[in-house]
Amino acid sequence: MYVNQNIKPITTRTNSKGNLEISNCDLVDLANKYKTPLYVIDRVTLEQMALDYKQAFSKYEKANILFASKALMTGAIAQIFNRLGFGFDVVSMGEIYTLLNANIKLNKSSFNGNNKSADEIEFAIDNGIDHFSVDNFCELKLLNEIAKSKNKIQKIHLRITPGIECHTHEYIQTGQIDSKFGFDLSKIDKAVELILNEYKNLKLTGLHAHIGSQIFETQVYYDEAGVVLELVKKIKDKFNIELSEINLGGGLGITYTKEDNPPSVYEIADTIISSIEFHCRKFNLEKPVLYIEPGRSLVCSAGVSLYTIGSSKEIEGIRKYIAIDGGMADNPRPSMYQAKYYAEIANKKEENKPEKVTVAGKFCESGDILISDIELNSPSSGDILCVYDTGAYCYSMSSNYNRILKPAMVLINQGKSDIIIKRQTLNQLVENDVLLEE
């Protein structure tokens, strides 16, 4: 079983004290040392998933893997992927600045997003971004103007909506026709004409498509590559230019619960590569440089969140609630997407007294429920709860709702733990407040 098909980090085990342990680090000890809530990232699992991607796509001689930074962007995480040879798919000035602050160059990075500001575009160009994934006509015009003012020819891809719908939550579908992202296929000719005839400071080298997130199907990737390459063929026939690059996005699903059954990265790679080879033969095209943008499937399984259980409430004949010291501000996905998670009591792993409970957060919202109806080993106040698969879109989407401080994050590796995000302080919480003069 490959990493994205595991619920737990690959180094997870029960130690001699009966506590959960990841990468030789006792989770109860981590909770005591760093306090909870706490994000924990296992470097061994993280790097193995990255190596799986590199190995899977090594069968294609012209593949570039970009980490979709929105999944988990910190300086330390970026350094790890940079050392492994990955580029980055960035979507904001803040993500770009995080890379620069970590001394990472932008020469292998793509700037994505549907409403880039002039400041963001200028910042990316000034710092040597490799290419923009252009989302719309407004951006085409603005990007050309800024590139012209800097006497620069800027490399771009056009992002398209391929008209492919995958079976995932509607909020994380991006490839269907009714989407805020990308050019409709019917508008591509106009965009290419503008680039060739008017926007002389833009160099079109490829097309970009993305069909969604948490995808469990393989056929959609085969179809996506076919749609993109068919469009490359049409552009070649009409404009006498053959685009040399395609970006097929990311979106591979991971296993959050036992009901999930995603394909492995090797299956997805084989599907994409076979589709490219088939359609290049069909349309008489040179095999293009391939970009892919995994995010969740690179980092999610490497991450867990630790909480301390506090109060409880039992409604006879209905359910029992247990409350933790975190919730929707450090993991908004259950509230936003009805996301499901698996969890265990870290300090009672060897006990066998299952009790069905609902894990509630501490925030002032009835919808702040992390996990509904899960069996845990006799949960009680003071126990440490380990929630699996929180490496992606938890820290990234965290907030200060109810003025709660954001948790710390630690990177663990073979018995060693290091802070990579400090716990927010009360002073940091109010540092941007401007008080009225009395």
Q: Where residue 171 sits, what CATH number does that domain have?
A: 3.20.20.10
Same domain? 38 vs 159: no
- How many Å apart are CA 204 and CA 335, to the nearest integer? 40
Q: How confident is the model at residue 165 (pLDDT cuts 50, 70, 90)?
A: low
Residue 92 domain boundaries: 73-294
Q: Which residues sit opposite 207 in a β-bridge?
A: 158, 246
Q: Which residues sit opposite 291 in a β-bridge?
A: 64, 247
Last residue of a domain, one of 294, 321, 349: 294
Query: Model-level pTM?
Result: 0.94
- How many Å apart are CA 189 and CA 425, to the nearest integer? 52
Amino acid at the residue 117: S
Query: Is residue 59 a part of any domain in this protein?
Result: no
Same domain? 102 vs 166: yes
CATH number at residue 321: 2.40.37.10
Q: pLDDT digits over 364-405, tens only?
A: 999 999 999 999 999 999 999 999 999 999 999 999 999 999
Which of 25, 364, 386, 394 is labelled catalytic? Answer: 364
pLDDT at position 88 is: 98
Residue 286 is given by DSSP the state: P
Residue 264 is given by DSSP the state: P
Please determine, for residue 173, whether its predicted confidence score (pLDDT) is greater than 90.
Answer: no
Strand 245-247 versus strand 20-22 pairing type? unpaired
Residue in this structure with the two tokens 């029992």, named with its chain if needed: 320
Please determine, for residue 169, whether its predicted confidence score (pLDDT) is greater than 60.
Answer: no
pLDDT at position 265 is: 97
Last residue of a domain, one of 239, 261, 294: 294
394 is catalytic: no
Same domain? 130 vs 255: yes
| Number of domains into which the chain is organized | 2
Q: pLDDT digits over 286-335, tens only?
A: 999 999 999 999 999 999 999 999 999 999 999 999 999 999 999 999 99
Query: Is residue 98 a part of any domain in this protein?
Result: yes
Query: Is residue 109 a part of any domain in this protein?
Result: yes
| 8 A C-beta contact, residue 210 and residue 293 | yes
Same domain? 209 vs 116: yes
164 contact partners, CB below 8 Å, separation of at least 6:
175, 176, 211, 220, 223, 224, 227
Last residue of a domain, one of 237, 266, 294: 294
Same domain? 149 vs 244: yes
